[in-house]
Amino acid sequence: MNIAVLGSGGREHAICWALAKSPKTETLFAIPGNGGTAAVAENVASLDICDAEALVGFAQDRNIDLVVIGPEAPLVAGMADALRGAGIAVFGPDAQGAALEGSKTVAKEFMDANHIPTAAYGSFTSEVEAINYARQLGAPLVVKADGLAAGKGVIVAEELDTAEDAIRMCFEGEFGEAGNRVVVEECLTGPECSLLAFVTDGKAFCMATAQDHKRAYNGDMGPNTGGMGVYSPVPIVTEEEMATMVRVMEESAAATARAPFENDYRGVLYGGFMLTPEGPKVLEFNARFGDPETQVILPRLESDLVSIMYAVATGDTASIDLQWSPLWAVCVVLASEGYPGAYEKGKVILGVDEAEALENVVVFHAGTTLNADGELVTAGGRVLNVVAMGESFDEARERAYEACELINFEGKQYRTDIGAKAAAGRSSWE
């Protein structure tokens, strides 16, 4: 099977890595790819992943059997619609389905309509009305830019003044057009947990749980990032909570196959949950694999990913069978100095081969490229995703950090407490 994967981050490297292991994969393209995908796929840096005409032409010229769309931007822009319209199988929802991520308001209205447990909220295009609602709701609050903001348009405000400043920041253009509408929510309490599902024909096939670490610094301090580390499964989730989350994902999947959706949802539905004292509630939906959640979920998937993705893309629910490794997986993100703010690129990276020589360690590239001399260099804020697996949570954590110490580039930064709270137990969140 000829397959093309759209995207250039750690998520896409993990997807390419998993697809390349399948005996069903004949030719694999990464568009545009990165320094890591080049080892398992043919990078196609000349294509714009939001240029529908170019993507359709490429798929037709190369006899592509399946296109896998990694990031949210091309999904929201309707690339799946264009490719499906040309008769090409696509793993990823159409633009209508992707609006569950592209607009926080659309997602909240979807949750309301389908009785999905979530936080109380208001959605506003007026700064004054948003501030008035925040004052009515009272702190702590969560302020969200409505549109896509690369995982950075969410501000948790412990004080009302902070919430009001965040609202003004959104409307003043801090997050571009994403902040033209603002969602103000009550602040839920408890640990977070992600549950992703393969969704097709209104059915959800849930994956393993994962827990991301969004804040930049140890102790969950500092600004939000795209994710600084993650692990799977999540040891603090109870059987009752898991059953609730699975039910929510199944009900949400069923809703994507009903009106007003014109076409059934075919891809990944990502449920971001807060494990509140009243039970799990949905914080957000994403319309694609999480990043860096994918980097710990796919290494634990024992089923053939090509078979699963093609079955999802074609609505063949009978062919989907998910089998999981009992091993734990921990991922630590190595980032550039200054991230999530300004950072320099082009720093030479050493030690990746040595890290991967450790048992059950794989390094996914998030922001890397090869320079003119063929050296691996930094090309983004999040540079590498160091993933280790182990028989226990502690073993996986220790191995991940052992691998991190073997990799070096100027300005390397990373959190040293990924998974520490979960290892300490549920009381760590109280």
Q: What is the pLDDT of residue 80?
A: 97
What was the pLDDT predicted at 335?
Answer: 98
Q: How far apart are CA 34 and CA 306, in angstroms?
A: 21
Going from the C-alpha of 188 to that of each of 16, 160, 295, the distances in angstroms are 36, 15, 27
Kindly list the structural domains of the chain, giving each domain's residue range(s) and its CATH number in brackets, ordered by start: 2-92 (3.40.50.20), 126-180 (3.30.1490.20), 192-319 (3.30.470.20), 328-429 (3.90.600.10)
Of residues 331, 332, 333, 336, the one with CA closest to residue 378: 336
Residues 6+ apart with CB under 8 A from 406: 351, 354, 355, 358
Beta-ladder partners of 192? 274
pLDDT of residue 260: 85
Kindly list the strands in the beta sheet with 89-91, ordered across the sheet, starting from the edge strand earlier in the chain. Answer: 42-43, 27-32, 2-7, 66-69, 89-91
Q: What angle do helix axes 10-20 and 305-314 make, rounded to 10 degrees?
A: 100
pLDDT tens digit at each of 430 positions of the chain: 999 999 999 999 999 999 999 999 999 999 999 999 999 999 999 999 999 999 999 999 999 999 999 999 999 999 999 999 999 999 999 999 999 999 999 999 999 999 999 999 999 999 999 999 999 999 999 999 999 887 678 888 999 999 999 999 999 999 999 899 999 999 999 999 999 999 999 999 999 999 999 999 999 998 888 899 999 999 999 999 999 999 999 999 999 999 888 878 999 999 999 999 999 999 999 999 999 999 999 999 999 999 999 999 999 999 999 999 999 999 999 999 999 999 999 999 999 999 999 999 999 999 999 999 989 999 999 999 999 999 999 999 999 999 999 999 999 999 999 999 998 888 887 7
Amino acid 90: pLDDT: 98
* 3-state SS class at 336: coil
Task: Say what the pLDDT of residue 219 is.
Answer: 93
Q: Closest Cα partner for 305 from 40, 21, 93, 39?
A: 21
pLDDT at 427: 81
Helix segments in 21-126, DSSP class H? 52-61, 72-76, 79-85, 95-102, 104-113
What distance in Å separates the CA atoms of residue 193 and residue 426, rounded to the nearest whole number?
12
Joined together, the tokens standing for residue 190 give 């408890």
Tell me how far apart the terminal alpha carbons of the chain are, to the nearest angstrom.
Answer: 50
> CB of 327 within 8 A of CB of 391?
yes
145, 153 Cβ separation under 8 angstroms: yes
> What whole-number distance in Å separates Cα of residue 175 and Cα of residue 67?
30
Nearest to 202 by CA among 328, 79, 93: 93
Residue 423: predicted pLDDT:
87
Tell me, what's the pLDDT at 364?
Answer: 98
CA quadruple 7, 10, 16, 22: dihedral sign: negative
Q: What is the pLDDT of residue 277?
A: 94
Reading the block at residue 57, the tokens are 């032409």
Q: Please compute, for residue 37, the number of CA atoms within 13 A of its CA located in the half-sphere on the CB side.
A: 30
